[in-house]
Amino acid sequence: MDIEQDPAYQQMINGELYLESKPLSDLRNDVRTKLMRYNLIADSEERNEKLKSLMKSVGDRFFAEPTLYFSYGVNITIGNHFYANHDVMLCDEGKITIGNDVKFGPKVGLYTPKHPMDPAVRRTEAERVAPITIGNDVWIGGGASILPGVTLGNNVIVGAGSVVTHSFPDNVIVVGNPARILRKNEPQK
């Protein structure tokens, strides 16, 4: 089955409450197995070509240090000139869109799932997701977490260890938990 034809997949990417279906579970298990294998490849060029093949769309000059993790891959779109340091996690139950010239420090996490607040619903294992969008020329420092529904504008720097709970406009440096604007970051002329 083409995953996009799966009703649970459609509910998932539409942000509706969903339960993981057999096709989604099969895809996750297949991707998990391939990621474990690909992340062990010492040759950077071969490793990165194989990792790219698991994602929806990846531009030129993609480089990820071992280990890169994600849930499905089919919801990840990455522009040109992307770098991910060690142990980056992309929970792509929702769509993740990353612009051009983006760098992630080690242990950066992008998390699209939104687990229910109501414990009765949470016990069913149903969840919703919200997409994450990262603009161009963004640098996310080590250990930072980007939460569901966040959009980061162009030329944003996220300080190491920050927890980004809401969206930010272009040309700012954000730090803290929850992240807040530290100052403007206007491009040099």
Say how far apart CA 70 and CA 30 lie, in whole Å: 12
What are the helix (H) ranges across 114-168? Answer: 119-123
Say how far apart CA 175 and CA 56 lie, in whole Å: 30
The Cβ of residue 58 has, within 10 Å, a number of other Cβ atoms equal to 22
CB 60 within 8 A of CB 81: yes
Rg value, the chain, Cα = 17
- Any idea which residues carry the catalytic annotation? 115
Say how far apart CA 48 and CA 19 lie, in whole Å: 31
